[in-house]
Structure 1
Amino acid sequence: MNITHPESLIFWTVLVFVILLVLLKKYAWGPILGAVKDRETSINDALAAAEEARKEMQNLKADNERILKEARAERDALLKEAREIKEQIIADAKGEAQEQGNKIIAQAKSTIESEKKAALAELKNQVAGLSLEIAEKVVKQEFSDKDKQLELVENMLGEAGTLN
């Protein structure tokens, strides 16, 4: 074997190359391709996880917006209810004040009427008392004279007799 010939050199080079290829395929390409495959799988898994996280973020954002809308709607409902309660309380207070005012006016009218009746009764009593005093004075003056007394008695008896 002479290695100095160019044909033999090509032969040995090709032979070494083929052996190297067989050895690389058997021992190196499998682990390298497995590592590349593992890397590809981990990248795909990371991309899938990122996509899942993006979808989850969209869902959370949608949920947050929905919760925010519900909270706003609830707040608006509570404010509306509070306004209605306030208006109802004001209306009730006005009605109660009106009712109390009407009762006070009715009581005042009743008191005025009863005081008016009492004053009229007192005035009648005073007029009756004055009338009796005047009549008593007139009668005393009339009866001071004996003749006038007899004349008055006869007139009364005459009137009493005509009434029967």
Structure 2
Amino acid sequence: METLLNDFSPGLFIVQTILLLGLIFLLVKFAWKPILNSLNEREAGIQDALAAAEKAKADMQNLQADNDRMLQEARAEREAMLKEAREIKDKMIADSKEQAKVEGDKMLKQAQAAIESEKKAAVADIKNQVAELSVAIAEKVIKQELSSNDRQLKLVDEMLGDIKLN
């Protein structure tokens, strides 16, 4: 430190101080404003970028909320469509069952009517056959009974007796 004090020159100190002050004056006059302007511009750019990021974040949240709302609406609409489809299916099944029942009842009535008609036809046919057989048997019996005169007279007497009793 002593060497510094021994080598100290006041003229050199004054010249260096003047040069330093001149350099500071030049920097302030020509460089300080552009540096401050660029720093201010950079700070404003950063602030704008942060504001844009916040706005984008808010927009994303709004979009997410809209997407969630639309998703809920789509789900509700899908559920409504599925419910309507189930109701239509159930109605179609019930209608088909009712129509099948009506058709079954109609076919059953037609079958019963056909059976009744066939039954009546069969009974009529049996009556005709019984009548034919009865006539044939009666004819044979009468031929046998009426083959002799004594039997004919006896049969006429019996018939007359039956007529008087009735």
Structure-2-length-normalised TM-score: 0.74
Please give the alpha-carbon distance, in whole angstroms, between the structure 2 residues aligned to 1:47 and 1:123. Answer: 111
Measured after TM superposition, the shift of residue 100 of structure 1 is 2.5
Report the equivalent of 2:63.
60
Runs of 4+ deviating beyond 6 Å: none
Please give the alpha-carbon distance, in whole angstroms, between the structure 1 residues aligned to 2:43 and 2:82. Answer: 57
Report the equivalent of 1:117.
120
For 1:35-94, what per-residue CA distance to the aligned partner results, in whole angstroms no more than 9, with x for missing partners?
111111111111111011101111110121012102211221122122112212221221
Matched, 1:83 2:83: no
Matched, 1:28 2:34: no
Matched, 1:92 2:95: yes
Query: In terms of mean alpha carbon deviation, does 61-70 or 19-28 score higher?
Result: 19-28
| Number of corresponding residues | 149
Measured after TM superposition, the shift of residue 143 of structure 1 is 2.8
Measured after TM superposition, the shift of residue 111 of structure 1 is 1.7
Please give the alpha-carbon distance, in whole angstroms, between the structure 2 residues aligned to 1:4 and 1:145. Answer: 197
Report the equivalent of 1:139.
142
| Pairs within 5 Å for 1:4-19 | 4=10, 9=14, 13=17, 16=19, 19=22
| Pairs within 5 Å for 1:34-49 | 34-49=37-52
Query: In terms of mean alpha carbon deviation, does 99-108 or 15-24 score higher?
Result: 15-24
Please give the alpha-carbon distance, in whole angstroms, between the structure 2 residues aligned to 1:67 and 1:52. Answer: 22
Amino acid at match of 1:59: N
CA RMSD across the alignment: 2.9
Identity in percent: 54
Amino acid at match of 2:68: E
SS of residue matched to 1:66: helix
Report the equivalent of 2:6.
none
Q: CA 1:4 to 1:116, structure 2 compared with 1: closer, same or farther past 3 Å? A: closer
Gaps in structure 2 of 5+ consecutive residues: 1-8
SS of residue matched to 1:114: helix
Amino acid at match of 1:66: R
Gaps in structure 1 of 5+ consecutive residues: 160-164
